[in-house]
């Protein structure tokens, strides 16, 4: 068991290290010189150039620079923004909370929607199933920004139930979180329903029923636990999706957050900021999918030997 | 957004029952293809012709999808937009299938060290969320159609690479390949005659389903301003332009978006059907 845990943690660390290295290479092989970018329209003399290069350590050997870069990353130092002239870590720290809040609420909604849809449609007649399937296919296929714009136009502009943009209070969180949760919930509920139906065909389900357990009790107490297992394996992909979609949804609802930071930085060619956001999301992805893998080991004893 | 995922789980179509929507999906895709190739057949208006006097009109017989903030006909723009979405989606998918296919085959056929290296590289690439990886790529280039295509291709290549590698390993261990080895077939001949065709068979189908995902992601990036620049009638860019007028004119944002969604649903439906047939399910 512990060997398996260590192996997962190790491969997660290797992926992160490789991602950091790739980011470093991308930064240094990119067309355009860092010093050129920083000099910009300002005064341009060899002395100023040498000063900038010395400040950034660009005059040192590449290997030293690389090691120093990894060392700084380990300490949460992502360098300075070209455009805002502030440490990237500060910019991210000030914007990370709205995104975390959004993704957490969205995850909770996702689970509710997925389990709800799956429980409602399992083993029902053609009509209910067809309806639920059509709904799932629509929300899964619709781009996140369309769902956002639809919700916005109905619930904010028509009905006036929720604020149109910003991040003032909890009510501003509902629609963005729903826009993220609907496609994910639609996806996950298909997996859970399949699992529920398979569990209901198992001998233990027949036994429980023959002992007089009600259908509902069987579904909730026994089948659901089996059905959630395959959903856990999907967790990594779902997290990646959530992080990707959050960037777009933040834009739709004019919310502050990392997505806004990233899109602004791409527009301004503020590479250190873009890199930091992308690296951070890769780190979150790797960390959470490692946790999901470990959770799977805990839940399913059959995998512990590997 | 990601419609390729549920492939193993979500094939709820029971054996023998053909989904009723399939012919409709095919018809709609044909219509989108016509719009992409010859938009003039479906509309006679100019997608860029502004008419400020007729701005933000609701859908009517004259303007099926209404007009936008500059008085441009939204239906015409949606028809012309098909070209962008299909072109970007198709080329990006083609590139990512090609890159993923070559890498996956290499990983599956080459010695262990090469396989290790390619697999790890794919792991690293796929640990970046797709939209963010694409954004990173665009940050190093210029926003616009070419870098959008490359960014999407880069973001999706690892996925195909992994599938092709797994498929290659599977085929390599198949009985007929082992038979061929015992008959003394050379390695290259074996690879070309037996492994490559069997590995690549399912790829067009995966690509059909992946095309929908690529189109959605491309339009999401366009929505963020990373794709074709205004006034190009790309669907995502149209939505982004119209978002500020949502209070008074829902149609100019939602109808292009709905067209995009229906296109993706149709692609997914056709792709899943093809997949079911390919795998021998009826």
On the CB side of B156, how many CA atoms lie within 13 Å of its CA? 32
Paired residues of A80 in beta bridges: A87
* Residue in A31, A241, A286 nearest the CB of B2: A241
Paired residues of A87 in beta bridges: A80
Model confidence pLDDT, tens digit, residues B33-87: 888 888 877 777 777 777 777 777 778 777 778 777 777 888 888 888 888 888 9
Contact between B261 and A157 using a beta-carbon 8 Å cutoff: no
Say whether B21 sits in a helix, a strand or coil: coil
Q: How confident is the model at residue B2 (pLDDT cuts 50, 70, 90)?
A: very low
Tell me the CA end-to-end span of chain B in Å, nearest whole number: 27
**Contact criterion met (CB below 8 Å) for A192 and A115:** yes
Place of tokens 């309806």: A131
Contact between A243 and B268 using a beta-carbon 8 Å cutoff: no
Which pLDDT does position B12 carry in this prediction? 46
* ipTM computed for the complex: 0.80
What mean pLDDT, rounded, does chain A reach? 81
Alpha-carbon distance A221 to nearest alpha carbon in chain B (angstroms): 22
Which pLDDT does position A120 carry in this prediction? 84
**Contact criterion met (CB below 8 Å) for B158 and B237:** no
Q: Looking at the predicted structure, is the pLDDT value of residue A34 above 70? A: no
- Average of pLDDT values for B176-205? 83
Alpha-carbon distance A199 to nearest alpha carbon in chain B (angstroms): 14
**Contact criterion met (CB below 8 Å) for A98 and A168:** no
- Best of A20, A140, A288 to mutate (most B CBs within 10 Å, chain B): A140
B70 touches chain A (CB under 8 A): no
User: How much is the pTM?
Assistant: 0.81
Alpha-carbon distance A268 to nearest alpha carbon in chain B (angstroms): 8
B204 touches chain A (CB under 8 A): no
- Average of pLDDT values for A58-80? 80
> What angle do the packed helices B22-37 and B251-278 form, to 10 degrees?
120
Give the chain B residue whose CA is nearest to the CA of A20: B124
Model confidence pLDDT, tens digit, residues A87-140: 888 888 888 888 888 989 999 999 999 988 888 888 777 788 888 888 888 888
Give the chain B residue whose CA is nearest to the CA of A274: B136
Which pLDDT does position A21 carry in this prediction? 84
Model confidence pLDDT, tens digit, residues B248-277: 778 888 888 888 889 988 888 888 888 888
Tell me the CA end-to-end span of chain A in Å, nearest whole number: 8
* Residue in B127, B243, B246 nearest the CB of A285: B127
* Residue in B239, B258, B264 nearest the CB of A145: B239
Q: Above pLDDT 90, what percent of chain A? A: 4
Identify all chain A residues contacting B135, using CB atoms and an 8 Å cutoff.
247, 262-263, 266, 274, 278
Q: Buried b vs exposed e over B33-59: b needs ≥16 C-beta within 10 Å?
A: eebbeebeeebebebeebeeebbbbeb
- Average of pLDDT values for A64-68? 83
User: Which residues 101-160 on chain B approach chain A with CB closer than 8 angstroms?
Assistant: 120-121, 123-124, 126-133, 135-136, 138-140, 143
Q: Looking at the predicted structure, is the pLDDT value of residue A220 above 50? A: yes
Q: Looking at the predicted structure, is the pLDDT value of residue B90 above 90? A: yes
Residue A88 to residue B249: CA distance in whole angstroms: 39
Alpha-carbon distance A97 to nearest alpha carbon in chain B (angstroms): 18
B93 touches chain A (CB under 8 A): no
Alpha-carbon distance B278 to nearest alpha carbon in chain A (angstroms): 21
Comparing A49-53, A240-244, B183-187, the range with the smallest average pLDDT is: A49-53
Which pLDDT does position A305 carry in this prediction? 59
In order of their start, the domains of chain B are: 63-281 (1.10.3720.10)
Helices (H), chain B: 22-37, 74-109, 112-126, 130-140, 145-172, 175-182, 187-190, 196-200, 203-223, 235-242, 251-278
Residue A171 to residue B247: CA distance in whole angstroms: 19
On the CB side of A98, how many CA atoms lie within 13 Å of its CA? 26
What's the longest Cα–Cα distance across chain A? 88
User: Cα dist. A218→A118, A209, A230, A299, B259 in Å?
Assistant: 14, 7, 19, 20, 42
Give the chain B residue whose CA is nearest to the CA of A16: B124
Residue A1 to residue A231: CA distance in whole angstroms: 22
Residue B1 to residue B5: CA distance in whole angstroms: 10
Say whether A80 sits in a helix, a strand or coil: strand
DSSP states of B40-106 as a string? GGT--S-TT---GGGTTPPP-SSSTT-B-TT--BHHHHHHHHHHHHHHHHHHHHHHHHHHHHHHHHH
Q: Looking at the predicted structure, is the pLDDT value of residue B164 above 70? A: yes
What mean pLDDT, rounded, does chain B reach? 82
Place of tokens 């690529």: B214
Which pLDDT does position A37 carry in this prediction? 67
Identify all chain A residues contacting B220, using CB atoms and an 8 Å cutoff.
143-145, 248
Contact between A240 and B129 using a beta-carbon 8 Å cutoff: yes
């Amino acid at each position: 068991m512990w060997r398996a845990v260590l192996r997962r943690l190790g491969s997660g660390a290797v992926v992160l290290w490789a991602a950091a290295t790739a980011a470093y290479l991308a930064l240094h092989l990119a067309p355009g010189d860092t010093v050129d970018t920083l000099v910009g329209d300002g005064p341009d003399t060899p002395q100023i150039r040498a000063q900038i290069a010395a400040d950034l350590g660009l005059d040192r050997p590449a290997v030293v620079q690389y090691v120093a870069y990894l060392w700084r990353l380990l300490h949460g130092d992502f360098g300075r923004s070209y455009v805002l002239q502030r440490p990237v870590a500060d910019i991210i720290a000030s914007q990370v909370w709205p995104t975390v809040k959004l993704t957490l609420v969205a995850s909770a909604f996702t689970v509710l929607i997925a389990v709800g849809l799956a429980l409602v449609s399992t083993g029902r007649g053609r009509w209910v199933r067809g309806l639920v399937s059509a709904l799932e296919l629509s929300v899964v296929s619709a781009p996140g920004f369309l769902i956002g714009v639809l919700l916005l136009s109905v619930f904010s502009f028509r009905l006036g139930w929720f604020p149109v943009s910003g991040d003032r209070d909890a009510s501003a969180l509902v629609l963005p979180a729903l826009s993220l949760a609907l496609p994910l919930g639609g996806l996950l509920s298909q997996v859970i329903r399949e699992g529920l139906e398979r569990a209901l065909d198992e001998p233990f389900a027949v036994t429980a029923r023959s002992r007089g357990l009600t259908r509902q009790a069987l579904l909730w107490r026994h089948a659901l636990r089996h059905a959630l297992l395959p959903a856990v394996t999907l967790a990594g992909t779902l997290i990646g999706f959530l992080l990707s979609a959050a960037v777009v949804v933040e834009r739709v609802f004019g919310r502050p957050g990392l997505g806004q930071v990233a899109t602004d930085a791409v527009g301004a060619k503020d590479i250190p900021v873009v890199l930091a956001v992308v690296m951070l999301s890769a780190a979150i992805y790797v960390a959470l999918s490692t946790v999901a893998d470990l959770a799977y080991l805990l839940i399913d004893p059959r995998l512990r030997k590997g | 957004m990601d419609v390729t995922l549920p492939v193993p789980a979500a094939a709820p179509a029971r054996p023998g029952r053909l989904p009723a929507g399939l012919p409709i999906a095919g018809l709609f895709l044909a219509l989108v293809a016509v719009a992409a190739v010859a938009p003039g057949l479906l509309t006679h208006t100019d997608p860029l012709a502004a008419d400020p006097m007729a701005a933000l009109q609701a859908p009517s017989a004259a303007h099926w999808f209404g007009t936008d903030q500059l008085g441009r006909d939204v239906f015409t723009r949606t028809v012309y937009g098909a070209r962008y979405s299909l072109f970007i989606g198709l080329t990006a998918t083609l590139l990512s299938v090609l890159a993923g296919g070559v890498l996956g085959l290499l990983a599956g056929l080459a010695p262990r060290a090469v396989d290790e290296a390619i697999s790890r590289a794919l792991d690293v690439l796929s640990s970046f969320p797709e939209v963010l990886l694409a954004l990173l790529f665009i940050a190093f280039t210029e926003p616009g159609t070419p870098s959008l295509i490359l960014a999407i291709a880069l973001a999706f290549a690892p996925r195909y690479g992994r599938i092709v590698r797994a498929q290659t390993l599977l085929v390599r261990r198949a009985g007929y390949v082992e038979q061929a080895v015992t008959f003394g077939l050379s390695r290259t001949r074996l690879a070309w005659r037996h492994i490559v065709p069997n590995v690549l068979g399912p790829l067009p189908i995966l690509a059909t389903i992946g095309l929908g995902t690529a189109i959605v992601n491309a339009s999401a990036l366009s929505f963020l301003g990373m794709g074709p620049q205004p006034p190009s009638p790309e669907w995502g860019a149209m939505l982004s332009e119209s978002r500020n007028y949502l209070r008074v004119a829902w149609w100019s944002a939602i109808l292009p978006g709905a067209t995009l969604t229906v296109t993706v649903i149709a692609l997914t439906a056709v792709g899943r059907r093809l997949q079911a047939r390919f795998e021998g399910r009826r």
